[in-house]
Structure 1
C-alpha cells in the first residue's frame, strides 16, 4: 500500500494525516504547542517547537500504524499564513515568529500606505495593509529591533521553516507569498517596487515555487529522528486557506468554502486576478497552479466559542456546552454577539475593536449566550458572502469545514444565515487533506488536483435553508451590521485601559 502525508501546521497544534490512494485517512496525529503573548496584541511562537512537535507526531504515526516508512511516498504541508520567521545567513532563527493574529503593527501599516500608496499597493498585491500580514511585521522588527533586522538574511513563513528543517532546502510557494504584501500576485514574483518603497532588500525574500513543486527529500538527520525514510519525496505545500480550498474541492468557478477554525474564512475560487474588490476582501494565489481565490476573514471565529467555554464552562466539553442550542430560537431570544475578541478583518480592518453582547437581560440563560456566539460568528462570515454577492458572484452552495461542520444545529444555522445549500464532506480534514492531495498529485497519482478531488472527496450530508429562518436572519443581520459603527469609537477610547 502507498500513502502520502499531509502536515497541517496550525496556530495551536500540528495535525498530521496519513492518507491512502483511495483518499481514506488511515491515521491522524495531533501535537499541540503554546502561544507566547507577552502583551495585548502580541502573538508569537518558537519555530523549533513546530519542528519538535512535527517530528514527534511523525514518529508516533509510524509507531502507531506499524506501516513501513518506505510505504510513505510523499509529504506536503499546509501552514498558518502571514507569520514572520527571520533567519540569519546560516538559516538560524533570530527571534520568535510573529504570528498572523499579532496586531502590534498598526503604525507600520500606516507607513506602508504613505510610502507605497494605497492604490499602488492594491494594484500590485490585491490586498490592503493589515496588521496580520508579513510586511508590517518585518518593518516592525526593522524599527524596534534593528540589531536583529541587520542580521536577517531571509524571511520565511511557518511551514516553510518546518520544510527547511526537514529537507535543508529553503523556499516559499505562491499561496503563502501572496499573504506577505510583497508579492505581485498577477506576475507571481516579488515586487521590487514595494521593497524599494519601504526600504526592504528584495534579497530577504526566498526563492518562489509552485505548491505542488517537489523540493527534495527528507534529510538523513530528520529521517533518523522520526523513523521516516530518507527517500520520501517532499512537496512545497500551501497556505492553510489554499490547502483548505483544495481539501474541500474548491477548484473551479462557482465553488465556495466556509471554514471555521480559530479564525474563520469564506473563500471563493477565481480563475484569474482580474476582478477588483477594492481591498474589501483578500485576493490570493491558489495552491492550484495559475488560479486564485478571494477570501473574507473573521479573526475570532471558533476562538470566540473556545473563549466562551474556557471562561464560563471550563470543566465541560463542547458537546455539553452545545447540547441545548437547538432549543433556543433564531435570534437567541433577543441577544446579539459580535466576535471581535482580537479585532476584526473583514469587512472592518480594525485591530482595536472588541466584542459585544447586545441585548442582555435577566431572563437569558447560558444556552442563549452560546447560540448568540454561534450566530455572531456566522453573521460575521456572512458579511464576506454579502460582499461577494454585491460584486456579482453567485453563491448558492457552500462547503463547510472546521468546527462549524461538527454540529448539525450550526450547519443548519449557516444554511439559514447564508441563504445557501451547505455541504458537509464525509471526511472533513480541510487543510491537512489539501496538503495530502498536493503530495498525491506531486507523486503522479492523478493527472490534476481536480481529478484527485473527484477520487478523494465525498459528500456526507447537505442542509437547505429554511425560508422562514432566512427572513428572520436577514432582519437580524441588519441589526448585527449596525453594531460596529455604534461601538467602534467606544472601543477605541477603551484601548488606554487595556493591559
Structure 2
C-alpha cells in the first residue's frame, strides 16, 4: 500500500514565489479561490476546512498582494540574469490583476473582457453573493475590495465558429486583401441594420454558465428566412453575444451601483462595430483605451510597483490608460435593442428547453 503525505498546498502562484524566493506564500485574492476561504471574514474558514477533512497546516500563509515576500534566491537570480537584491511581491490571482489593470480601482467601476469567453466584473467593498446566479467572486488585490463577475462561455468563440463554418469566402478575400478577417467581417456586418433584419442568435455554443437558464442550453439562430444574408448572420452573432452579456449584467446591477461607463478589454474589444453594439445594448458609454489585451499584465506589474514603493498606491493606473474612443449609446438604437431583448429572452428559454430535452 502506498501512502501519500501532503506537506503544503502549492498552486501556480505559490510555486513561482517559491522558485524565486524560497518562500511559499499566497495572497488574499488567490486564497479566495481555494474553496475553503471565507470572503466576508477575509481568511480561511475553519468550518469549511473541517468539513473537507483538510489539514489546516497545508494551507500557505496569506499576505497582501503587494507584500514583499523576499529577494531572489541565487538560483533564481542566475537563471533570470537579475540582481539578488530584486524584491518579489506576492502577486495575485489573474482575475483580480486583470480587474486592477482594467481600471477597476474604485467602487462600482466595471469592465467587460471580450475574448473566447467573456465576463463582466465589478469592483466593490462587498462581494456579490447570490445563491441562485452564483457569480464568481475573488478578493481584489486592492485592500478592502472584491471583484465579482458574471460570464458567458462562448463569445469570441461563437464569432470564430461563424467565421470557420459560414464565412470561408470572407477568409479568402481578407487574405487576398491583406486585412484582418474579423475586421473585414465587421465591415460586412455593417451592411445589416440594428436587429439583423429580425435574425436572432443565442451564443450558448459551449453550454450555459450559472447565470444562464441551464447548463444544458445550446446555441442557435432563430427567425432565419430566405431573405437573410451573410451580413445578417455575422451581425446577429455579434448582437447575440452582446445581448446575452446584457442579460447577465443585470445580476451585477441588482447588487451594485455601477459606473455609467464600461471599459472594454480583450481581443474582441478591437472591433469598433462590436463596441457600438455593446454601447446600445448596455445603454452605457463604452471606453476603449490603449491597454486592450494587456490589462492582466498591467495589473500584475502595478502590484509589483506598489509593493516595491515605486508607486504610492494604485491610483496611477488611471494615468497609464489613454482613452482612444468613447462610444455613447444612441437612444433610438437603445430602444430597438430593448424591444429585441424580449424576443432574445424567449429564445434563450426555448433553447434551454431544447437543450435539456436533447441532454435526456
TM bucket (normalised to shorter chain) is: 0.7 to 0.9
Aligned pair partner of 2:346 in 442, 462, 482 = 482
Once the 2 structures are TM-superposed, how far is the Cα of residue 400 of structure 1 from its aligned partner? 1.2
Question: Which residue of structure 1 lines up, in the alignment, with residue 178 of structure 2?
Answer: none
Aligned pair partner of 1:457 in 313, 316, 321 = 321
Structure 1's unaligned 5+ residue stretches are: 1-146
Q: Does the alignment pair 1:405 with 2:269?
A: yes
Once the 2 structures are TM-superposed, how far is the Cα of residue 174 of structure 1 from its aligned partner? 1.6
Structure 2: distance between partners of 1:287 and 1:303 = 29
Q: Is the 8 A contact 1:295 1:384 kept in 2?
A: no
Aligned pair partner of 2:245 in 381, 388, 394 = 381
Structure 2: distance between partners of 1:449 and 1:279 = 33
Once the 2 structures are TM-superposed, how far is the Cα of residue 392 of structure 1 from its aligned partner? 5.8
Q: Is the 8 A contact 1:346 1:384 kept in 2?
A: no
For residues 153 and 311 of structure 1, do their structure 2 counterparts lie closer, same or farther at Cα, with a shift above 3 Å needed? farther
Question: Which residue of structure 1 lines up, in the alignment, with residue 25 of structure 2?
Answer: 171
Structure 1: distance between partners of 2:359 and 2:71 = 49
SS in 2 for 1:430: helix
Structure 2: distance between partners of 1:156 and 1:438 = 21
Aligned pair partner of 1:435 in 272, 282, 300 = 300
Q: Is the 8 A contact 2:108 2:256 kept in 1?
A: no
For residues 166 and 310 of structure 1, do their structure 2 counterparts lie closer, same or farther at Cα, with a shift above 3 Å needed? farther
Q: Does the alignment pair 1:320 with 2:184?
A: yes
How is 1:271-420 mapped onto 2 (pairs within 5 angstroms)? Answer: 271-273=125-127, 277-278=130-131, 280=133, 281-313=135-167, 317-348=181-212, 350-391=214-255, 393-420=257-284
Question: Which residue of structure 2 lines up, in the alignment, with residue 243 of structure 1?
Answer: 97
TM-score between the two structures when normalised by the length of structure 2: 0.86
Q: Is the 8 A contact 1:400 1:422 kept in 2?
A: yes
Alpha-carbon displacement from aligned partner over 1:356-399 (angstroms, at most 9, x marks no partner)? 22222333333322222221221222123222333462442111
Structure 2: distance between partners of 1:221 and 1:453 = 33
SS in 2 for 1:333: helix
Alpha-carbon displacement from aligned partner over 1:172-193 (angstroms, at most 9, x marks no partner)? 2222322333210121111121
Report the count of equivalent residues: 348
Structure 1: distance between partners of 2:352 and 2:223 = 17
Structure 1: distance between partners of 2:162 and 2:317 = 36
The structure that is helix-richer by fraction is 2
Once the 2 structures are TM-superposed, how far is the Cα of residue 244 of structure 1 from its aligned partner? 1.8
Question: Which residue of structure 2 lines up, in the alignment, with residue 46 of structure 1?
Answer: none
For residues 308 and 234 of structure 1, do their structure 2 counterparts lie closer, same or farther at Cα, with a shift above 3 Å needed? farther
SS in 1 for 2:262: strand
Q: Is the 8 A contact 1:243 1:432 kept in 2?
A: yes
